[in-house]
Chain A
Amino acid sequence: MPDAVALMESEPLAIIDGGCERGEWTFQIEPNQIRPVCEFLKSHRGYRMLSNSTVVDCYPSEPRFEVVYHLLCHDSKQRLRLKCKIGGEQPEISSVSMVWNSADWFEREIFDLFGIRFIGHPDLRRILLPDTWEGHPLRKDYPVTGYR
């Protein structure tokens, strides 16, 4: 894939793994490289839209969180998925909201529902739940009650 080649030349240490499954490209990115990688993909490879960003909780394995970014390039009609594995007691990763403004709310939603802090985010507050809510409900170890 040409994007992978270009990315390897620009940020040689960024890609840990990559592959194409069911017609969708996924790159595993070194977490502390996410911001330069996103800046590069936006300015040099035409990925001008961050279509969404979310997290998969792989509890109980460690590092447990996989931050997922779905990018879209309108010119080549190409979609790209980036993934970063993070873990620890206080999971945190660089914010990409200065690369794409849309990441602002996506990251607030992740912070709200998964409790991941985004370094450099301008306004990291809960967005869907009240400020007084305890815990982060989309984590796999969040206690669920009720009928199953």
Chain B
Amino acid sequence: MAELAIPASSRSLVLNMGPQHPSTHGVLRLVLELDGETILSAKPDIGYLHTGIEKTCEEKTYHQVITLTDRIDYLCPLTNNLCYVLAVEKLLGLAPPLRAQQTRVLLNELSRIASHLVWLGTHAIDIGAMSVFLYCFREREEILKIFELVSGQRMMTSYFRVGGLALEPPPEFLPRVKHFMGYFPDRLREYESLLTRNPIWKRRTVGVGILTKEDALDFAVTGPTARASGIDYDLRRDEPYSGYENYKFDVPVRTEGDVYARYLVRIEELHQSVRIVNQAAENMPDGPVRAKAPGIVLPDREKMKTEMESLIYHFKIVTEGFRVPPGEVYQAIESPRGEMGYYVVSDGTAHPYRVKVRSPSFSNLHVLPRLAEGRLLSDMIACIGSIDIVLGEIDR
């Protein structure tokens, strides 16, 4: 925990911003040293949400860990599900069926849209635009309803399983998605017309919180924050997983590296996610949503009631879990905030030996003092919003 430093000069003042300040998006404490309104130094202090998920994973079976991954990042639980499940599948050498993969991509992009909507809404309200916040949450509500439709849950979905999906999506799922995709791009353009050329918005964001490309690489900043600084790297395109190589989409890159550039990159990403969702929903293949891997993938509910073998497998997976061959993998995917990675070490038992979550917000927050030092206190609010942190993911 950061110490309350004695001010370097008699003119400076130490201000504790947070952990409950509304613009800190969770429980982040910032120890700021101010000279008037100018920030001389900033020290992020994290750990208020530390839940010990990595330690808990070691006590659970591979199957049970899925529900823990939901709780790491409460704005995109499905992305965490996917990353963990892909890591375990890589350890097992198991490939899920095509239909499951495509549904995963679709839901993953929907949760990227939902997450970016929360970012846009809260970022806008931090800077002072109230109505965008209300609009964004209205749109996000519809996405949460789609999640509820497929998984029965709005937030802690736990919908992906090792080897496929938990359930077959209901027949009204795709029409609902297509309906939402029908009107969402227009709404999005409406938000842009409220902000992009708005002089107040531009005065608060253009040239504020500049992150250079060198700093971004040095601090391992990833995702939209890095792409706004000119790093042309997107894991969906450059290290494809779940069949992302079959979708057509562009990766927006800007070189300015300021708050405004990060805003533009994320807005464009929303448009690209819409494109991916449309492609995935358009030609959804038929077939099973779970791989044929008895002993690892849970059998169908119906079969369990009529076949003895299915009942035994179900009992064994639920009570003692499945064994995973010894080894280690690092699986990285593009979360809404950047490179999310799961490093899973197996010792051959039914429990993971070690799970390390590489959370994008952790590295992205590290660079915050570089963005804000020397600028005004009100710029700090814009900077925090623009790097889109989720404290649950930083502390794990």
Contact = CB atoms under 8 A, between A and B. Distances in A.
Contact of A79 (B215, B220, B330): B330
Contacts of B339: 51
Contact of A126 (B1, B55, B219): B1
A101 B368 CA distance: 13
Interface in B25-62: 46-47, 50, 52, 54-55, 59
Contacts of A70: 330, 341, 343, 358
A49 B354 CA distance: 23
Interface string B87-104: 000110100000000000
Contacts of B362: 105
B236 interface: no
Contact of B220 (A24, A51, A125, A137): A51
A13 interface: no
Interface string A98-133: 001110110000000100000000000111111100
A19 to B, nearest CB: 11
B354 A56 contact: yes
Contacts of B354: 56-57
A64 B343 CA distance: 18
Given A74-B233, A128-B395, A138-B55, A56 B220 contact: no
How many residues of B sit at the interface, in one of the four size bands?
35 or more
A22 B354 CA distance: 18
Contacts of A56: 328, 345, 353-354
Nearest to B325: A22
B366 interface: yes
Interface in B329-345: 329-330, 332, 339, 341, 343, 345
Contacts of A57: 354
B105 to A, nearest CB: 20
Given A52-B356, A56-B353, A70-B358, A129 B50 contact: yes
Contacts of A130: 1, 47
Most chain A CB neighbours (cut-off 10 Å) among B1, B220, B233: B220
Given A79-B330, A102-B220, A138-B55, A131 B1 contact: yes
A138 to B, nearest CB: 6
B363 interface: yes
Given A102-B219, A129-B50, A52 B343 contact: yes
Most chain A CB neighbours (cut-off 10 Å) among B50, B59, B215, B395: B50
B46 A128 contact: yes
Interface in A1-49: 21-22, 24, 26, 48-49
B231 interface: yes
Interface string A66-96: 0010100010010101000000000000000
A108 B384 CA distance: 22
B302 interface: no
B57 to A, nearest CB: 11
A20 to B, nearest CB: 12
A127 B343 contact: no
A68 B330 CA distance: 11
**4 nearest A-B pairs in the assembled complex, by CB-CB distance:** A102-B220, A52-B358, A128-B47, A54-B356
Interface of A: 21-22, 24, 26, 48-52, 54, 56-57, 68, 70, 74, 77, 79, 81, 100-102, 104-105, 113, 125-131, 137-138, 144, 148
Interface of B: 1, 46-47, 50, 52, 54-55, 59, 90-91, 93, 215, 217-220, 222, 231, 233, 238-239, 327-330, 332, 339, 341, 343, 345, 353-354, 356, 358, 362-363, 366, 395
